[in-house]
Amino acid sequence: MAPHDLRDYLFDELTAEQRTEVETYLETSPEAREELDGLRLTRKALLSVPDEEIPRRIAFVSDKVFEPSWAARVWRELWAGAPRVGFGMAAVIVAFFGGLWLAQPTLTVDGAGWQVAFGGPAQAVEAVAEPLPESGSGGEPGLTQEQVQAVVAEVVARYGAESEARLRGDLAVLVSKQGSESDARLQAAVNGLRGEAEQAWWLLKTKIDSITYTTSAEMRPAGLPR
Amino acid sequence: MIFREVEDRDLILRSRHGDVEAFNVLVSRWEKRVYNYLLRQLRGREDALDLTQESFLKAYQNIGRLQEVDRFPQWLFRIAHNEAISLFRRNKRLVDDEVPEVSDGGAVSVAGSAVYPAELTLAVARALELLTPEQRETVVLKVYHGFKFDEVAEIVSCPVSTVKSRLYSAFAALKGTLAPAAKPSV
């Protein structure tokens, strides 16, 4: 009996050692040789039918039928170019941080916003100009809430005291003249005092706005328009 | 041969990076083999040609998924195999469903007598038709394309033992018909 299958021998599926064993066996077995001859003839008959030439060329990928979708092309390009994109991004990042290092920027963050100065504080340039606050709006930039409250209290105290003193004085004058003047004139005087009080309040408000604007504008570098 | 393999490998790698021309060269190298593999299974030139084209289209679209470049032949033939199976299922015209023409006592019945090359070709065609599609595919892959058993198993997606069984039974049938025909006349 053959040590290995003769078909495996025919199809070269045996190791070199196994092939040697089969060949040794074939020398001593005419039946095995005949069997192997039959297999060889069968294979020879099969191989006598040659491959056909292809009737027409296969459409290559450059043809329309092979053209991939735009999404596939974009993805492939991105994937194929990933190393280049990576190097490019790395170069941009290095250039960015190198430039920053050379410029020696200073970043300042406070209630007025944030500022970036390049090369030193003398050449400080405001990066983002905050819009000036509307008159009367709360939280003025440049001062803390406590500072603003203190300034307002001081202004109110000063102008309030002046206004009150002036009103009291005018009232004393009126009282001294009361006996000789009519009610109509008294009413006119009261109206005048009321107008004066309103004017005093307007003045007070203007002062507060002026102080707020000044303190905000002081944050600007010299030379910039107010 | 080594040069050819190296070149194929290089072409595959370039194709994976979107080099269309590299894939075109691969197509020109492999189209005849894929076409004949399909032709011997389908027996219709138009079907074989269509499926060959479809196989290369899928190969191009999926070449990025090819894990081992050295296994490109098995991978490509597996795509073609799947295309053939799909066509069988679509058309419901499995080859073994068709009753082969009864021999008129000519080419197939050649046992014991020598035949001319043209007759031998016809005898081979008829003998192959008598096999089941699985046996025929195994014979085609093993004899005509020289794949190893494990490679055939990979292409047709079945165990090596099944591949061997199919080939052995197919050869037993073919030997009875073809070996005498192939024997040189005295």
Domain boundary among B78, B93, B108: B93
- Total number of domains in chain B: 2
Is the model more confident about A175 or about B88?
Answer: B88
Asked whether residue B104 falls in the same domain as residue B181, the answer is: yes
Nearest to B18 among A44, A46, A76 (CB): A76
CATH number at residue B155: 1.10.10.10
Q: Taking the model in full, what pTM does it have?
A: 0.55
Chain B, window 57-96: residues with a beta carbon less than 8 angstroms from a chain A beta carbon: 57, 60-61, 64
Asked whether residue B80 falls in the same domain as residue B148, the answer is: no
Nearest to B52 among A44, A48, A58 (CB): A58
Residues 6+ apart with CB under 8 A from B10: B22
Asked whether residue B23 falls in the same domain as residue B109, the answer is: no
For the purposes of burial, counting CB atoms within 10 Å of the CB of A102, is it exposed (0-12), middle (13-18) or buried (19 or more)?
exposed
Asked whether residue B111 falls in the same domain as residue B54, the answer is: no
Determine the pLDDT at residue B113.
47
Dump pLDDT digits (tens) for A94-133: 888 888 777 777 777 777 677 777 765 544 445 444 554 5
Separation of alpha carbons A24 and A37, rounded Å: 16
Least reliable range by pLDDT among A17-21, A108-112, A176-180, B24-28: A176-180
Asked whether residue B6 falls in the same domain as residue B27, the answer is: yes
Asked if B64 contacts B107 with a C-beta cutoff of 8 angstroms, the reply is no
Asked whether residue B78 falls in the same domain as residue B135, the answer is: no
Q: Give this complex's ipTM.
A: 0.78
**Interface residue A72 vs chain B (CB under 8 A):** yes
How large is the average pLDDT for residues A183-187?
A: 70
**Interface residue A23 vs chain B (CB under 8 A):** no
Domain that residue B48 falls in: 1-93
Determine the pLDDT at residue A65.
55
What are B144's two structure tokens? Answer: 């005509």
Asked whether residue B151 falls in the same domain as residue B185, the answer is: yes
Asked whether residue B146 falls in the same domain as residue B77, the answer is: no
Dump pLDDT digits (tens) for A29-51: 999 999 999 999 999 989 988 88
Closest approach of A71 to chain B, Cα-based (Å) = 12
Nearest to B31 among A7, A48, A58 (CB): A58
Least reliable range by pLDDT among A187-191, B90-94, B132-136: B90-94
Closest approach of B48 to chain A, Cα-based (Å) = 10
CATH number at residue B27: 1.10.1740.10
Interchain CB distance below 8 Å, B36 and A51? yes
> In a 3-state reduction of DSSP, which class is residue A116?
strand
